[in-house]
C-alpha cells in the first residue's frame, strides 16, 4: 500500500488498477493521489467517475477509450463494481469463458489507451482465482486496502494527528483504537474532533481522547466494572440500566462482564509470573489498553473474588436459560452480590 503511494509520487503509474478491501478511506486517498497526478492543478477536466452498479463492462471500455482532453493523462474511476466482487452471484456458478459481457473489457485491458488510467474499486474481497482478476493483475495492479494491524494503525493515527499539527501519546492512540476500532474513515473523523478540542495544545493526551472520542459498549463495561470494584452497588445498577436503555442486550452485558472478569484473572496470573503489559496483551490476544485496564481493575479483586464473580454470572445465565427467572433481574442481583464482596 505504501509502495503504491510512493510510486505515484515518483510518477510511476499503471494503466489499470483494481482496489479492493475493507478500508474505503484508503481507497479514496489512493484515487485522490492518482487524481492529483493526472490533474496537478485540480481542474478535474480529465478525471471521470462512474457508479459500478450503473455501468456495464462495455460502457467502461467506451469511457476508458476516450483520449485525454488537451492533456497527457486521463483518469477513469469506476466505484464498487459488483461483477468483480467475491460475493457476487452473477458469475459464481457460471463459466467465465462463456461470458460475452466481459470480452470487450478483457480486450481493452490487454491493450489500454496510452495516457489513460482506469481504476476499478470493489467493496470487500475478490476471488484471485477468477480469469478477470488474473487478467487485471497481468495488465496493471491489484491492491488490497485491508484493516491495519495495531502497530500500523498506531503509525497511521500518529501521522494523522501530525497532519493536524499535534503530537500524540501512545496511551491516547491505543485508547482511540479501542473505542473507534479499525474503520479509518471513522477514526479520521475522531482525530479531527480531538484536534479541534486540543487546538491550543501541542500534544494529545489520553485524557483528551477520553473527553471527546465516541464511547462504545466496551468502555461502558469498564465504567461498570469500576463501580463494581469500588463496591458502589447503586452506581453499578445505574450504569447497567443506562446500557440497557441504549440498546445493549442483557445477555451481551452478562457475557462482556464475564469476559472482563476472566481477563482480569488471567492478567493477574501472568503479572505474578513477571510478564510485562505488552507480553500479557500479546499472549492473551488483548488490546493493549484492555490489558492495562484489566491489570488496574484486577488489583481491586482477590483471586477468589474474581472466581466467585464468574460463578455468580454463570449462575444467572443458567437460571435464565432454565426458566428460573428474568435475566434482567438475575443480572442486577448478581451485580449487587459482587459489589458486596
Q: What is the structure's pLDDT at 100?
A: 67
Please report the pLDDT score of residue 99 as a whole number.
58
CB under 8 Å to 110, separation ≥6 — which residues? 135, 139
CA nearest to 10, candidates 28, 37, 42: 37
Q: What is the pLDDT of residue 94?
A: 46
From CA 101, how far away is CA 224, in angstroms rounded?
57
Q: Give the pLDDT score at 88.
A: 67
Along the 341 residues of the chain, how does pLDDT read in single tens digits? 778 999 999 999 999 999 999 999 999 999 999 999 998 887 778 999 999 999 988 999 999 998 887 888 999 999 999 989 887 645 444 444 445 678 889 999 999 998 999 999 999 999 988 989 999 999 999 999 999 988 899 999 999 999 999 999 999 999 999 888 888 999 999 999 999 999 999 999 999 998 888 776 677 888 898 899 888 999 999 999 999 998 889 999 999 999 999 999 999 999 999 998 889 999 999 988 889 889 988 888 999 999 999 999 999 999 999 999 999 999 999 999 999 98
User: Hey, what CATH class is 150-212 in?
Assistant: mainly alpha
What are the tens digits of pLDDT across the range 93-149? Answer: 444 444 567 888 999 999 999 899 999 999 999 998 898 999 999 999 999 999 998
Cell of 112: 489500454
The architecture (CATH level 2) of 2-144 comes to 3-Layer(aba) Sandwich (3.40)
pLDDT value of position 95: 47
- Give the DSSP letter string of 59-106: HHHHHHTSPPSSSS-EEEEEES-GGGSTT-STTTTS-GGG-GGGHHHH
Taking the C-alpha atoms of residue 98 and residue 54, their distance in angstroms, rounded to an integer, is: 22
**pLDDT of res. 179:** 82
State how far the Cα of 250 lies from the Cα of 259, in Å rounded to an integer. Answer: 14
pLDDT for the residue numbered 138: 94
Domains 2-144 and 217-339 share a fold: no
Name which CATH class applies to 217-339.
Answer: mainly alpha
Parse the chain into domains and list their residue ranges.
2-144, 150-212, 217-339
Q: What's the CA angle centered on 264, arms 263 and 267, to 5 degrees? A: 80
Torsions phi, psi for 76 (to 5 deg): -120, 120
Confidence (pLDDT) at 78: 97
Amino acid at each position: 500500500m505504501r509502495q503504491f503511494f510512493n510510486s505515484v509520487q515518483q510518477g510511476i503509474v499503471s494503466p489499470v488498477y483494481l482496489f479492493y478491501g475493507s478500508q474505503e478511506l484508503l481507497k479514496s486517498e489512493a484515487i485522490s493521489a492518482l487524481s492529483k497526478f493526472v490533474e496537478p492543478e485540480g481542474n478535474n477536466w480529465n478525471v471521470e467517475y462512474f457508479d459500478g452498479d450503473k455501468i456495464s463492462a462495455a460502457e467502461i471500455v467506451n469511457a476508458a477509450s476516450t483520449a485525454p482532453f488537451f492533456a497527457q493523462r486521463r483518469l477513469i474511476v469506476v466505484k464498487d463494481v459488483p461483477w468483480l466482487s467475491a460475493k457476487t452471484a452473477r458469475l459464481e456458478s457460471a463459466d467465465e469463458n462463456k461470458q460475452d459481457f466481459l470480452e470487450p473489457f478483457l480486450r481493452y485491458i490487454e491493450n489500454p489507451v496510452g495516457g489513460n488510467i482506469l481504476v476499478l474499486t470493489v467493496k470487500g474481497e475478490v476471488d484471485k482465482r477468477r480469469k478477470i482478476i488474473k487478467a487485471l493483475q497481468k495488465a496493471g495492479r491489484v491492491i488490497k486496502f485491508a484493516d491495519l494491524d495495531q502497530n500500523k494503525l498506531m503509525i497511521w493515527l500518529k501521522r494523522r494527528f501530525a497532519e493536524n499539527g499535534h503530537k500524540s501519546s501512545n496511551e491516547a492512540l491505543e485508547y482511540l483504537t479501542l473505542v473507534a476500532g479499525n474503520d479509518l474513515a471513522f477514526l479520521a473523523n475522531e482525530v479531527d474532533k480531538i484536534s479541534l478540542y486540543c487546538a491550543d495544545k501541542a500534544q494529545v493526551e489520553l485524557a483528551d481522547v477520553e473527553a471527546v472520542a465516541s464511547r462504545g459498549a466496551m468502555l461502558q463495561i469498564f465504567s461498570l466494572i469500576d463501580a463494581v470494584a469500588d463496591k458502589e452497588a447503586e452506581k453499578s445498577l445505574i450504569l447497567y440500566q443506562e446500557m440497557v436503555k441504549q440498546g445493549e442486550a442483557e445477555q451481551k452485558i452478562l457475557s462482556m462482564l464475564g469476559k472482563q472478569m476472566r481477563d482480569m484473572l488471567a492478567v493477574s496470573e501472568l503479572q505474578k509470573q513477571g510478564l510485562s503489559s505488552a507480553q500479557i496483551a500479546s499472549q492473551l490476544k488483548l488490546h493493549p489498553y484492555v490489558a492495562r485496564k484489566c491489570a488496574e481493575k484486577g488489583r481491586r479483586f482477590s483471586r477468589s473474588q474474581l472466581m466467585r464473580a464468574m460463578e455468580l454470572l454463570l449462575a444467572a445465565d443458567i437460571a435464565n436459560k432454565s426458566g428460573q427467572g428474568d435475566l434482567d433481574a438475575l443480572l442486577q442481583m448478581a451485580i449487587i452480590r459482587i459489589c458486596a464482596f
